[in-house]
Amino acid sequence: MTGRWVLAGKDGRLTAYARTENGLLRWTERVPGGPDWSGPDLFPADGLTDLAVGQGPDGYAHFAGRRRTRTEGAETVSYHHAVQYQSGRPMGPWESLGPLYRNPDMAHRGGPPAVAVDAQGAPHVFVRNAGRGIHVKRQDKKGKWAGWEDLRGSKAFEGVCASSDGDGRVRLAVPGEKGLALWAQSGPGGPLKKGEDIPYLAQDGSVRTLETAPGRVTHFWHAADGSGVFAYREGAGVLALGGGPAYGTVAAVRALVDGYDCTVLAHRAVDGRTALAAYPTEHEAAGLWWTAIGEECLESPALAVDAHGLVVIASISARGELLVNRQKDSSGLSLGRWQRF
């Protein structure tokens, strides 16, 4: 899954999502704060080769998928969207967003989707286009989808990171050959405007964006040369956070640790285990230390905060199980036992 694949619903329960060969898997906390989870529930979605998830201020989970089909030797790539409105409830039907281009030779070069939801609850689906720039498709207040819009950009990689902040302003961070390219809405519901490129090479698919102060975000990524995790925040520049070589997406969340507002980070190390670190939010100079936890897992870990304000770490095991660990209490980042579901 692309995006934050463990989400908190309006009822306080966490839900975890994963893509499987023939659809979407879902696990849901039985009560807010756990520790037990139900699932996995399977929602069929044949032919979807890539799935992304995003969430808006209304708590709805939006999914965007890329489907490849082959007819008489010709390959067609199209995009699709679905919504889950409440924790533990069925998903809505998949609706087609169509191909990126009418020309099939160009359409099959569209990249995996990323999705973010704005202040009005309108999803924005982003993909890398055939020219290695970025296209977006948005839904209006009445639920009607606009056409694909070219945001420009160049030499982009496929690992697009889309997010929205507490005000519902959509932000986009895209790694590429020239560094990290950024777009942002100047205000809720406004147009996406291109910012300056950050001239640091990020590993494709590793970028995560976290709101670290009202209206201010920090972008995290793995350096393409394997030198560790880096971060960028306007006004602070690029910051080295250590962590060594790794791959996959950097997970990030804010939580109370020892009474301090802290940023907790996690990623999948080269040995497949989860590496975890924390530091006072926006005070990277305080230093952070990475600790390996858990067992080898298939994909990048996810971080969330449960209904009791405790950090939850989730991974997908090599056997396809959901692995969950939880902060014991807010007096430190001490963890409990891993649970399998």
* Per-residue pLDDT reduced to its tens digit, 160-183: 999 999 989 999 999 999 999 999
Q: Cβ(80)–Cβ(30) under 8 Å?
A: no
Per-residue pLDDT tens digits for 97-122 = 999 988 877 888 889 999 999 998 99
Please state the pTM of the whole predicted model: 0.95
pLDDT surpasses 80 at 274: yes
Residue-averaged pLDDT of the chain: 93
Output the six-digit token pair for 218.
Answer: 């920090």
Return the DSSP state at 190.
-
Per-residue pLDDT tens digits for 277-290 = 999 999 999 999 99
61 to 82, 83, 314: CA distances (angstroms): 9, 6, 18
Share of the chain above pLDDT 70, in %: 100
First-to-last alpha carbon distance for the chain, in angstroms, is 18
Looking at residue 281, its pLDDT comes to 98
pLDDT surpasses 90 at 70: no
Q: Cβ(324)–Cβ(314) under 8 Å?
A: yes
Mean pLDDT of 122-150: 93
Looking at residue 77, its pLDDT comes to 87
AA letter at 202: A
